[in-house]
Every structure is written in structure tokens, then in C-alpha cells.
Amino acid sequence: MTGFPRVMLGLIFTLVFSLAGPAYAEDKQKAVLVTGASSGIGLKITEHLAAAGHFVYAGARKPDDIARLSAMDNVQGIRLDVTAQEEIDAAVDLVRAGGRGLYGIVNNAGVNVIGPLIELEESELDFLFDVNIYGPYRVTKAFAPLIIESQGRINNVSSISGVLTGPLYGIYAMSKHALEAYTDALAVEMGMLGVKVSAVEPGNYKSRIGDSRCERFLSQDVDPASSYFEDYIERVVDNCKNRPENTAPEPVAVAEAVLHALFDDNPREHYMVVPTQFQAEITIRKAIEELVRFNEGHDFSYSQDELVEMLVDEFSTGDAFTRSVSRPRE
């Protein structure tokens, strides 16, 4: 059987087995570029790559962060604002001059914006998409010749918000849905050139993106009473002004998934990595809901038995099933 339901079932299959623990053979030292490497997920990926013996070009914007990254073994901090083409071009020149080539790109730099879609200023969309979508596009395009030359890998750090969405988080989900589509299309095109492309979809892990989101939101002096969504806005304001300690786990599992995507002989195209069973369930249920919705109300719908048959087929042919060891559920 072919068609859209098989695509959706493939996504569901990927989400299910993204809960499995990656295992890959250590390779000789490779050079990898990581954007947004100064904190959170980007820093953890940088640390794991360097500890595994690989060389990391760690992109950051602030001089102090660049110096801190450069002090790490196997890491060279470089100035890299993914919204500035001149800095991207300078980074390409620097990497070429380094003589190591470039095997991998990890497009990790990202920002978050919160607010009702019908009330957000267009400038907020410009800010978000400039980093979350145009950033990976610019960086990948600029470094593509080096990656093609090395027959390397590209990994985009997306989010489970590339599957989910919700009130006031729609703009962020828009950017991550777009990044998912970009990843899928890029995987097909670059696959023709011997380059493998993947995305990692983290759940809620410790990072500074929430703090930055709140700082930007509060700087706009939003008046909840002026919004159609007064109750939601009041809750956001209260949460941002009285942010509790971030008790989310460190993004170690995310870094492990990225290394698997970069160095395993048979990487998956998508890696959902979440710290709780609840986050896994809501994401997978959303994917199933989408499948059911697209299968309804037209002349070419599949029966329930046919959909189950497709899912069984995906399980039986998916190499992730035989390759991975499942982690215990929480």
C-alpha cells in the first residue's frame, strides 16, 4: 500500500522508536559545526562531540562565550550569528583554512516567542523565522560544498513542537513545523548526493530558551487586559515574573541522539527525545490524530484494518527496531 497514510504511519513509527537508546561505533575524529553552542542543548552536544574525540567548531555570538568554548579540548569557538550572512561566510572561510574539512553540521541555534497569533507583531515572526528557519537554511547552504565533499551528515535540532502546538505557542510551533518539512525535503535532495540528513525533536530539557522567551515577552510591557486572551496572558506574565527553578533534566539524551544521527551507519531521519512518558504519549497521539484526520472523508480512505496492516509493515521493516535497545518507561 502507498500514499499519505503510509507517510503518517512512518512518522508514528519514527516517534515510537525514537524512545530507543542510540548505539553507534566510535569513528575517527571528524570535524563538526554546532550553531548556538554557548548553552543548553548546543553546549551539551559540543561537550559530547569533544569528549568522543571529534573536533567541534562551536558557534556563538558573545566574545566571552567564544573564549569559554575555545578553552575546551577539541573545540574552537567561532563567532557565528546565523542571521548574519557575512558571519556565516567568514565561518566557512575559517573552516576551510583549518584544513580539517567538515563532516557534520548541527543546526541548533533557536529562539522562542510567545503570544496570540492574531495579536503578535509581524516583527516577532520575522525575528523567530530569521533564526529558526532562515538560520539553518543559510548555514546549510553555505557549508553544503564541504559536507558534500566529505559525504557527511546534517542534523537539525527541531522540537516536539514540530508535531504539537497550543495556545500562545503557535508561532514557535509554526517555525518547528517548517523545520520538519525543510529537513524532510533536504534529506531527499542531499541523499542524492550521498549526504544523510536528520532531525532531533527534543521535549522539555534544561536550556535558556525559556528564560530568553520570557525576557523578550516582558520587555514588551504587555497589558493582559488589552488582549482577547487575558487569562492566558496573565498566566504567562506571572510565570515569567516568578519563574521557578528549572528542574528539567540536562539534555544528555538529546546529545546522544545527535551523535547517533551523525555517526551511526544507518541513522534515522527523525529522533524524538523526551524525558517523560507523558511527553511521548501526547506527541505520538497527535501524530495518530493527524493520520486519522487525513484518512477521513474522501474517496480513497483506508479501513482500520488496512491502516493497522501498514503500521505492522512499518514495524517489521524498520531497522531501528532491530538495532536499538529500548529504555524503560517512566
Residues labelled as active-site residues: 172
Helix, strand, coil abundance in the chain, percent, nearest 5: 55, 10, 35
Do 83 and 107 form a contact (C-beta atoms < 8 A)?
A: no
Please report, in angstroms and rounded to a whole number, the separation of the first and last CA atoms in the chain: 35
Is 204 strand, coil or helix? coil
CA distance 225 to 217: 16
Q: How, if at all, do strands 196-202 and 153-157 pair?
A: parallel
Beta strands in 13-152 (DSSP E): 20-21, 31-34, 55-60, 75-79, 104-107
Cα–Cα distance measured from residue 281 to residue 271, given in angstroms and rounded to the nearest whole number: 15
**At a CB cut-off of 8 Å and minimum separation 6, what does 163 contact?**
11, 15, 180, 201, 283, 286, 287
Torsion, Cα 95 99 100 101, to 10 degrees, reads: 60
